[in-house]
Amino acid sequence: MKYARNKKWRLLLSFFAVLFIVLGSIGGCDSNSGGGKNKEGCCVVAGGDLCFEDFNKDECDVVGGDLKKGKMCEDVPECVAPATGCCVFGPEECEDDLTQLECGAEGGVLDEGAMCQDVPECNPPPGEGCCVFGDNDCEDGLGQEGCELDGGVFNAEVMCVDVDQCNLPLGEGCCVFGDNDCADGLGQEGCELDGGVFNAEVMCVDVAQCNVPPLDGEILYVDNCQSCHGPDGVGGFAGDVVDATAEQIDAAIIGEPSMNSLESLSPAEIDAIAAFLDM
């Protein structure tokens, strides 16, 4: 705990009040005798933080007090020891034995009757408060200030074992680079750094783009080419096409009017036909 708040003003006030009384005594002035003023009551200073019996008005004014005429200090509510407790200024920044007045003046919140050692905010147990730096990159016990100084996001009153982002199962979160080009387990940051598109809370086995069925070149050839070029690219009236490359097929589709109807074939489908013919 930090005990960084000072109480010098109370000590100084006490010192000057006592000094005033001592000097009056040395001077031989007895306010109860001769022409002296009668001491009239309880002098209340600083809202009750200090109280002096048998002060007259002049004496009370000197110490900046408020005179309760005809009163004993034990009968003045402000002078009865005010309730104290733990004053909380922030996480792990607390002070014991302050009154409500003192705590409020310092900008704190009083936990009346409590000792700071018993206040959770003053003494977060190890692991309480999880600092999240990224997917599966977390740390317990840094506290809010330490976490934010290190660039993390603080989750109060939890341990990292209870934070979903800190415990992504291996494979949860699929990174997609292209058709059938995917990777599990990179996390969002790693995926985006590698130029992929991150799909949270799924595995690649559940992403359609990662599981595009391979094109069947034989079926594509039979449906689109066999009637002209014969089975397996041999014996057709339009000539043999065995070992034709994808570039040759694409050029023929563009250049031969009779083949223009095949312009709907995608590059991937043309590649599959060429792979079938290259047997």
Per-residue model confidence (pLDDT) at position 203: 82
Q: How far apart are CA 98 and CA 124, in angstroms?
A: 21
CB 271 within 8 A of CB 246: yes
pLDDT digits (tens, 9 = 90+) for 3-21: 334 444 444 555 555 555 5
Element (H, E) at 173: none
CB 100 within 8 A of CB 110: yes
Per-residue model confidence (pLDDT) at position 121: 80
pLDDT digits (tens, 9 = 90+) for 54-64: 899 998 998 88
pLDDT digits (tens, 9 = 90+) for 190-200: 898 999 999 88
Per-residue model confidence (pLDDT) at position 35: 39
DSSP string, 220-261: HHHHHTHHHH-GGG-S-TT---TT--HHHHHHHHHH-GGGGG
Q: How many CA atoms does the CB half-sphere of 200 hold within 13 Å?
A: 6
Length of the chain: 279
DSSP state of 116: G
